[in-house]
Amino acid sequence: MADYRNIVILTGAGISAESGLATFRGPGGLWEGHRVEDVCTPEALAHDPALVHRFYDLRRAALAAVAPNAAHAALARLDAEWPGELLIVTQNVDDLHERAGTGRLLHMHGELTSALCAACDARVSWPGDLPPKTPCAACGAPALRPDIVFFGEMPYQMERIERALAACDLFVSIGTSGAVYPAAGFVQTARHYGAETLELNLEPSGGSGWFGESRLGPAGVLVPAWVDEVLAR
């Protein structure tokens, strides 16, 4: 790969799989046990808030039982030691990147440990269960909902992400199936602006053909090895 200083990394559910969190697609995935439209759309929230809130309460509770793995730790080391620009964009709503110590991080699909007011858009840290109609401390409306970007909603900080993709010279995708846009299109944007592209995934993803290089294997092995390479340059 050519010389690079400015790195953007996209992570998906595959990076948290070895910590014990289920991915979405494939055998045993979250979308095998639930229909996306029942728990992850604005319509589902309006139609059956108790079901939607319960789904995310269970996932929030599951976070307490898991810990960051070697892949999260390696990216935290990269964040601490990489002297150039770095932005880690995660599709994950777990908090394993920050628990590993990563700071240059953005959650594009929201966060399990946060609540969003549907009335005033306030976001507040929320570690425990979130019953429907919980009042918002900022505006008083009984409108707190899980701070999750549902299908059909705009992901967070897209302008900042687009700017970072246009400016990076290396784009790396880790543990994501490339099934959900806009994240699935980041590789094409980065290529368009001239970045090198690398995929680290257990199996070829939907977008594998777009990457200059694809390495297959578990994130817990591939990511620490790649970070060692980058920091040794």
The residues of the shown chain that bind ligand APR, judged by CB under 6 A, are 12-14, 17-18, 23-25, 29, 91, 109, 175-177, 179-180, 201-203, 205, 218-219
Of 5 and 25, which has the nearer Cβ to ligand APR?
25
State the minimum distance, in angstroms, from the CB of residue 186 to ligand APR: 12
- Nearest 5 degrees, angle CA 71-CA 100-CA 41? 80
Return contacts of 80-86, CB within 8 angstroms, 24+ apart. 81/231, 82/7, 82/230, 82/231, 84/4, 84/5, 84/6, 84/7, 85/5, 85/6, 85/7, 85/164, 85/167, 85/168, 86/6, 86/7, 86/8, 86/9
C-alpha 40/C-alpha 113 separation (Å) is 16
Of 116 and 136, which has the nearer Cβ to ligand APR?
116
C-alpha 232/C-alpha 228 separation (Å) is 6
State the minimum distance, in angstroms, from the CB of residue 70 to ligand APR: 10
Of 12 and 68, which has the nearer Cβ to ligand APR?
12
Annotated catalytic residue within 53, 72, 109, 192? 109
State the minimum distance, in angstroms, from the CB of residue 200 to ligand APR: 7
State the minimum distance, in angstroms, from the CB of residue 34 to ligand APR: 10
Of 201 and 214, which has the nearer Cβ to ligand APR?
201
The closest residue (CB) to ligand APR is 14
- 72 in active site: no
C-alpha 209/C-alpha 206 separation (Å) is 8
Catalytic residue positions, numbered: 109
